[in-house]
Amino acid sequence: MLKSQTLRILLIGLAVVVAASFLPLGVSGYVLGLLTVAYYFGVFSMAWDLLFGFAGEVNFGPTFLIGTGAYTAGILDNLYGLPIWVCVLAGTLAAVVGGLILALPALRVRGPYFGLTTLVAVLMLQNFIVVDAGLTGGEIGLTVPDVLTISEVVNYQIALWFMAVSGAILFALSRSPVGLILQASGQDDVQAGALGFNVTKHKLFAFIISAFFSGLAGALLVFYFGSASIGTLIDVTVGVQIIIAAVLGGRRTILGAVLGAVFLIAMSEVLRPLGDLSNFTVFALALVVVLVFPNGFFGLLTRHKESV
Amino acid sequence: MNDCASLDVGHVTKRFGGLVAVKDISLNVKAGEILGLIGPNGSGKSTVMKLIMGIVRPDAGSVRISGQEVAGLPSYKIARMGVGIVFQHSRPLHRQTVLENIKLALLPDKLTRLFADPGIEARVRAIAERVGLSAVLDRLPSTLPFADLRKIEIAKAIARDPKVLLIDEPFAGLTQQETAAFSQLIAELRDDGRAILLVDHNVKSVARLVDRVLAMYVGEQIAEGSAEQVMGDETVRRVYLGGSIETAARPESAFSDAATPFLEVEKLSVHYGKAQALEDVSIHVHAGEFVSVVGLNGAGKTTLFNAISGLLPYVGEIRQQGHALRGLSAARVARNGIVQAPEGRELFVDMTVRENLDLGAHHLAPDESATQIEWLFELFPILRERQGQAAGTLSGGEQQMLTIARALMMKPKLLILDEPTLGLAPIILEQISHIIETLRRTTSISMLLGEQNVTFALPHADRVYVLEHARIVWEGPPNRFAAEAGRGYL
């Protein structure tokens, strides 16, 4: 029964993605640009949901993983002019290694301390970038010589299908036996241990997967923007937006995170005429949604099916 | 089939800070045998279970599974060596069906398994058939009755076919009929050749099932033998029932407010989700009267007190001097004179003794507060000495005294004491006992005392209620308790 549900959600998702791939026929380049960024942020949020929703660990530092991937890729391109795909791979690898170095000690501490550790990691990375400005571009930002493509439509399609594939993998993983063990470890680690599961191993695995997709998306985003900066990729407020998107979309749903990311970026665009008040309004709206619909958008969409 | 016992625990000791939770406990369970591990709340029996499972590590001693040493290993390794545990509280995955919840327990601990074995569902169905969950496999846990949730826990624990099965309070919260079915199931699991350790509060509830019983009290073994032997054991009787009980009960007619008692609880019912915690409970306390509510852990004592204190929604009526308390906040109930010293103590552990006491008095006028604290320091001299010390650094007994003192700072008309003896050594009990006696002799306070320790509850009571499975089953003066209601407490 559940297998068919997983399959059905994946098929519906595919249909939505195929439909979205025809958007360039009807909307302006400006809107495509916004959606491109939203899709990358959707991947950030999905990767975060795997850690929070399933492994039960609140990672306040998603931007540590993203930033490590993005800056590694950007710096390699800048210094050595390596092919983009080599830089992206190296960035992804760096995020995974960085994630491991962070997670190994962080997973030894419980509850809020894990979150604090990840938060401190973001601040350290941010400081490193500012201090080592010669390498990283510091507060001004890093400009890379190469971009994925200059075509808005191609950039849009790359982001869309990258998000689709990442989402399918993360979603399938969350519904697999590994996802089941992960969820049990997140909810009750004592019981999971008593059932013979090495809880730390499973949480570490989740962290690595999360780091992989965060780093990969971060590295790709650098070659979409043609630049990297603290304000767009690393700042704590960026991390908070990723978290809000995931919670808005629906905790423990993976795919909901994409809805949340698109919603956040669309709303800040729609509310732009409000000027300084626009961000405030977006966050206030997000707060209302979280309080009234704690299961998020995705929870609303699937509620009927679950109650039947 | 095997010479050494399936489970062999030798001289384990576990300390938490200054508290020795388990002291030099040894036990063994052979294949095809059930050992009952019993003891009152706080005796350390659950800690023994956690030591075996590797959830906490022993400070000393050995734990052997079929001869292999496992002490100090993480629990997932111990689980794989053939130990399963049924937790008292069921915490299933709520988004997954019963089938998926059981399937979880059958999955290998591997990261590479993206698809489960095709045969796994057949195994889930076989296990479900065995524990009686076949009909509800596709439902979500939240739609199931309490007994079925317990069955899910058993199903998970036996999924990997453990040689040793630990079961924590197997019958807590079950009806008699469900208890019979569970006993049957546990007996069958023993007949498969498993070694089973049942952990429970008293002998009576597991007597029919166990082959042997080991009794614990404040971390130490006090008796071992057949259920009959342990029930007849002098020490066990003293721990559970007390020796000859001297009571100084005052008859109900001695209280002047016979028509409208100070506190009246009428047909009180409380539900926690599906579990009924109280059913049609009616009690009353006269002004100045000391009343004990006796019941085992889980009987509903704390629920009763929390409902009176305004902490829980309920059906029924609770009145103070004739006025209904419904709708009053917990803070208002306390200020009106019904004050609870809760079971968990709930001290502010980082604040000093004095600060904790001052918090209890924050609505009193300064001179009133000074008089009150002076009186309390006379009642509890140790607290005067410890004034400047952080509450968290006090011993268990001192913390309990501080809890009572803080409640008394509020100048209660009715003091509710919930399990003041929990986990305390006998000598401390005597001191607390003395304080309660002083309160009874020298003040006009009424007292409602909740206890599973009958020895402690009876001498202080003018009247006793027995709470069992959410209902009041007996009411009377303390001197008739042993004869009429005592046997259930062994």
pLDDT of residue B242: 58
Least confident of A110-124, B29-43, B222-236, B245-259: B245-259
Beta carbons of B300 and B281 less than 8 angstroms apart = yes
Which residues lie across from B384 on neighbouring strands? none
Taking all residues of chain B, what is their mean pLDDT, rounded to a whole number?
87
- Name the residue of chain A whose CA is nearest to B107's CA: A177
Residue A180 domain-assigned?
yes
CB contact under 8 A, B95 and A252: yes
What was the pLDDT predicted at B490? 61
DSSP-derived secondary structure for B87-142: -SS----TTS-HHHHHHHHHS-S-SS-SS--TTHHHHHHHHHHHHT-GGGTTS-GG
Percent pLDDT > 70 in chain A is 97
Q: pLDDT tens for residues A285-304?
A: 888 888 888 888 887 776 64
Domain count, chain A: 1
Asked if residue A1 belongs to a domain, the reply is no
Q: What does the pLDDT average to over A172-178?
A: 92
Helix (H) or strand (E) run with residue B14 in it: strand B7-16
Cα dihedral angle (B291, B297, B302, B303), rounded to 10 degrees? -110
Asked whether the ipTM of the predicted complex exceeds the cut of 0.95, the reply is: no
| Residue % of chain B over a pLDDT of 90 | 46
How large is the C-alpha radius of gyration of chain B? 24
- The answer to whether residues A274 and A281 touch, using CB atoms and an 8 Å cutoff, is yes
**The amino acid at B412:** P
**B150 and chain A: CB distance < 8 Å anywhere?**
no
B330 in contact with chain A, both atoms CB, cutoff 8 A? no
* B88 part of contact set with chain A, CB < 8 Å: no
Neighbours of B414 (CB within 10 A): 22
Find, in chain B, the residue whose alpha carbon is nearest to that of A253.
B95
On the 0-12 / 13-18 / 19+ scale of CB atoms within 10 A, B313 is: exposed
The pLDDT value recorded for residue A17 is 95
A223–chain B nearest CA distance, Å: 32
Least confident of A99-108, B235-244, B440-449: B235-244
* A to B CB pairs, distance under 8 Å: 80
pLDDT in tens, B362-384: 778 888 888 999 999 999 988 88
Answer whether A278's CB lies under 8 Å from A271's CB: yes
CB spacing of B100 vs A198 below 8 angstroms: no
pLDDT band at A1 (very low <50, low <70, confident <90, very high): very low
Disruptive mutation site among A191, A207, A303 for chain B (greatest number of B CBs within 10 Å): A191
Chain A hits for B84, Cβ within 8 Å: 194
Mean pLDDT of A219-240: 94
Mean pLDDT across B326-351:
87
Contacts of B100 in chain A (CB under 8 A): 2, 180
Q: What is the pLDDT of residue B197?
A: 96
Candidates A178, A184, A195; nearest CB to B113: A178
* A112 domain-assigned: yes
> What's the pLDDT at B1?
43
Chain B interface, mutation test: which of A197, A204, A208, A303, most B Cβ atoms within 10 Å? A197
- Give yes or no for B275 touching A (CB within 8 A): no
Residue A13 located in a structural domain: no
Q: Per-residue pLDDT for A228 more than 50?
A: yes
Inform me whether the pLDDT recorded for A55 exceeds 60. yes
Report pLDDT for B485.
Answer: 77
Residue A191 lies in a domain: yes
pLDDT > 70? residue B244: no
Residue B387 pLDDT greater than 70, yes or no:
yes
Q: Which residue of B has its CA nearest to A190?
A: B55
Q: Which of the four pLDDT bands, split at 50, 70 and 90, describes residue B315?
A: very high
Domain membership of residue A276 (yes or no) is no
Q: Using CA atoms in the order A50, A56, A61, A65, what is the torsion angle rounded to 10 degrees?
A: -40
- pLDDT for B251 beyond 90: no
Examine residue A196 and state whether it is found in any structural domain, yes or no: yes
Which has the minimum average pLDDT: B24-28, B189-193, B341-345, B376-380? B341-345
Q: Which tokens in the block code for residue B431?
A: 């001191």
Asked if residues B140 and B92 have their Cβ atoms less than 8 Å apart, the reply is no
**Residue B76, amino acid:** Y
Lookup: tokens for A234: 């690393």
Closest CA to A193 of B76, B55, B47: B76
Question: Which has more confidence, B295 or B273?
Answer: B295
Instruction: Measure CB to CB from residue A196 to each of B80, B93, B116 and give the nearest one.
Output: B80
Q: B15 to chain A, minimum CA–CA distance in Å?
A: 20
**Mind telling me how many Å the CA of A306 is from chain B's nearest CA?**
9
| Distance separating alpha carbons of residues A45 and B483, to the nearest angstrom | 67
Lateral strand order in the sheet of B60-65? B19-29, B7-16, B60-65, B68-69
Q: Is residue A15 situated within a structural domain?
A: no
* Cβ neighbours of B468 (radius 10 Å): 16
Q: Is the pLDDT higher at A254 or at B201? A: A254
pLDDT at B4: 65
Q: Please write the tens of the pLDDT for every residue from B45-103.
A: 889 999 999 999 999 999 999 999 999 999 999 999 999 999 887 789 988 899 999 99
pLDDT of A80: 92
- Reported confidence tier of residue B2, pLDDT bands at 50, 70, 90: very low
Tell me which residue of A51, A37, A145 sits closest to A106, measured CA to CA: A51
Q: Which of A1, A176, A196 is closest, CB to CB, to B109?
A: A196
**Does residue B399 surpass a pLDDT of 90?**
no
Q: Exposed, middle or buried by CB within 10 Å (0-12, 13-18, 19+), for B130?
A: middle
Taking the CA of residue B31 and the nearest CA in chain A, the distance in Å comes to 20
Average pLDDT for A103-122: 85
Query: The domain containing residue A224 runs over which residues?
Result: 30-240
Q: Say which residue, B85 or B204, is predicted with more confidence.
A: B85
Say how far apart CA B123 and CA B110 lie, in whole Å: 19
Shortest distance, CA B483 to any CA of chain A (angstroms): 43
Of A85 and B46, the structure prediction assigns the larger pLDDT to: A85
Where is average pLDDT lowest: A53-62, A197-206, A286-295, B224-233? A286-295
* Residue closest to B49 by CA, chosen among B95, B17, B89, B9: B9
B10 vs B345, higher pLDDT: B10
B487 pLDDT exceeds 70? no
